[in-house]
Structure 1
Amino acid sequence: MSNKLSEVQGRISSVHELESVVSAMRGIAAARSLEAQSRLDAIRACAGMVGAAIGDALMLDHGDDKPDELPKPFSDATLVIILCAEQGFVGTFNEHVIESAAQCTGPHSTEFLLIGNRGAGVAAEHALTIGWSAAMVAHADEVPALADRITEVLYERLNAGRPTRALVLHAIPNPSEAIEVVQSILWPFDFRRFSRPVHADPPLVTLPPRRLLALLAEEYIYAQLCEAIMLSFAAENEARMRAMIAARTNVHNTLDGLIGESRRLRQEEITSEIVELSSVSLAAGTGNRARRFAKS
């Protein structure tokens, strides 16, 4: 009995340690999600400045064609950038993102750029063609470097004339427990969404208007990718936080069960000790009476 009681007490100690780990992971996930969301205003302000510059540059261009310098694509293909999680304990986060990506496939060829190693297995289950992959960020400070890498890969394919359409697909923070996945079109770049300023004087520039607009479009796409990665990182940590809350509930239930089992075993041990002491006392009393009768 004592061996079983000590085993249960050892398990209670282990569960207490697990509870501490779960609480720490929940706190870290919450802090990272809040930090990521706090940086979105700066990213959007940067995108707004680039958008204003595009509006100014549009005053210089009077052509009818799209103001880009990329070659015409030779295939009707789509490029989809998928943002998944790099680390675990996120519930069904990756499954929701990959399932949304699988719906982007159509009659034409589709190439996927996968960010986040945790999504690779799920992508393989859905038979997605992964043309390039990279690790997802672990901290908000890593977002600009990852966005720069993705922009380079995207423009390599655009310069090669491979895709006619490019989009990024990612989750966004959601107060509810549901995982919301959105997509943003990166290419073809829609210059019509930028309003031209009302002042009559065009800006002074040193680059040809078409070249300037192409470079500004690349900067705007980079800002879009920064925002998408930051949103996905925040949503990933929200999913991890919810998973840790569920894990903590399970830990508490397990702990309550073990404590109840420990109390039951302890009570049985005490009862056994009482019965043993009673048996010894009863045997001793019987022996004394037998000796007294023998003497008489």
Structure 2
Amino acid sequence: MTARLQDVTARIGSVRELGGIVDSMRGLAAVRVQQARRAAVAVETYAGIIQEALVRIAPMLPADRETQPPGQAGQTGAIVFCAEQGFAGLFSEHVLDALHDDEKEHLFLVGTRGNAIAHARGLIPQWTAPAVQTPASVPALADSITEEIGRQVICGNLARVNLIVCHAVGQEKATVLRQSLFPLDPALLEKTSPSEPLPILNIAPEKLLADLVADYIFSRLCLAALHSFGAENQARSERMTAAHHEITRQLKSLEQLQRTVRQEEITSEIIELVSGPTLAKLKRFKRRSAAE
């Protein structure tokens, strides 16, 4: 086997090994997308129950209640969910592009890879955390975000908090969504049904409202983390699928080159074998002619 054929064969082996890694990453990403979607259904049900409870107690609250702390109209923060790992294309870039100028001073960023990209852009997050790698880690992340946001609001550093997350529905391309997280939209509490009786409470409606708002924000953060987890892995799956197609194309080209090189070597060997006796006869004929 010549050096050229050895090089082509070694290259084929390397490409096949890379293809195995790419296929493993693609399969893992696809599994995580399905995990995120199944978990999101349960969280949406939980959020719906909390929202229904908020609607039920809304008529029991004072008519002059405030939905937003006074004197803090200019302070706005943003929670952005970026990628945790690489091979997700421009996932984090698209999320960071959705930031408004007034949100950059109070930036809460989730995702290690996104944090590196944010620093490269000159953005310094006020708070960071790694993104989840399994749906089971979502409640802990949402709880830590809720605690930090609550602390900032109580200290008077924030009056509004927006949520920026990438969401993919089915096989459609993911889109970046901007949602208001805090304060709650007043329209949410106005969706009352006069025919339903008011619930019987053992605690003050204001205290119950505060607890339900915290639970509702927690559920929204859980849902955002799951949407981001699914969208990131869907983007990674798409990248790995494209890489799989490119590896398949390269393998076909290399295998064709391998066959061509091998055929050239076989042809050369046959020519050497056939031409060997002929050259020997020609040398004997030349010696005989010279002797005569």
TM-score (norm 2): 0.90
Partner of 2:97: 99
Q: Is the 8 A contact 1:32 1:237 kept in 2?
A: yes
Aligned mate of 1:258, from 248, 254, 260: 254
Letter in 1 for 2:82: C
- Cα distance in 1 for residues equivalent to 2:101 and 2:70: 22
> Alignment partner of 1:133: what SS?
strand
Alignment CA distance shift 1:73-1:23 (3 Å)? farther
Matches within 5 A, 1:30-45: 30-45=30-45
Alignment CA distance shift 1:99-1:53 (3 Å)? same
Alignment CA distance shift 1:75-1:63 (3 Å)? closer
Query: Structure 1, residues 241-279: CA drift from partner, whole Å, max 9, x if none?
Result: 110111012112221222222222212212221232233
1:214 aligns with 2:213: no
- Cα distance in 2 for residues equivalent to 1:201 and 1:178: 44
> Alignment partner of 1:81: what SS?
strand
Partner of 2:82: 84
Partner of 2:14: 14
- Cα distance in 2 for residues equivalent to 1:244 and 1:134: 26
- Cα distance in 2 for residues equivalent to 1:24 and 1:199: 55
Matches within 5 A, 1:134-283: 134-174=129-169, 178-194=173-189, 195-198=191-194, 201-283=197-279
Query: Structure 1, residues 65-109: CA drift from partner, whole Å, max 9, x if none?
Result: 2268xx6565721110010111111111111111112xx113x87
Alignment CA distance shift 1:200-1:289 (3 Å)? closer
Letter in 2 for 1:53: A
Q: CA deviation at 1:129?
A: 3.2
- Cα distance in 2 for residues equivalent to 1:25 and 1:197: 49
Aligned Cα root-mean-square deviation (Å):
2.5
- Cα distance in 1 for residues equivalent to 2:71 and 2:149: 13
TM-score (norm 1): 0.89
- Cα distance in 1 for residues equivalent to 2:291 and 2:207: 124
Q: CA deviation at 1:121?
A: 2.6
- Cα distance in 2 for residues equivalent to 1:66 and 1:112: 25
Which stretch has the larger CA shift, 119-128 or 162-171? 119-128
Q: How many residues align?
A: 291
Partner of 1:125: 120
Q: CA deviation at 1:193?
A: 1.2
Matches within 5 A, 1:110-121: 110-121=105-116
Q: Is the 8 A contact 2:78 2:104 kept in 1?
A: no
- Cα distance in 2 for residues equivalent to 1:178 and 1:268: 48
> Alignment partner of 2:94: what SS?
helix
Alignment CA distance shift 1:284-1:96 (3 Å)? same
Q: Is the 8 A contact 1:116 1:135 kept in 2?
A: yes
Letter in 1 for 2:203: L
Alignment CA distance shift 1:28-1:183 (3 Å)? same
Q: Is the 8 A contact 1:67 1:210 kept in 2?
A: no
The answer for unaligned runs of 5 or more in structure 1 is none
Query: Kindly, what percent of the aligned residue pairs are identical?
Result: 35
Query: Structure 1, residues 12-60: CA drift from partner, whole Å, max 9, x if none?
Result: 0111121122122112111211221122221111111111211222232
The answer for unaligned runs of 5 or more in structure 2 is none
Alignment CA distance shift 1:10-1:241 (3 Å)? same
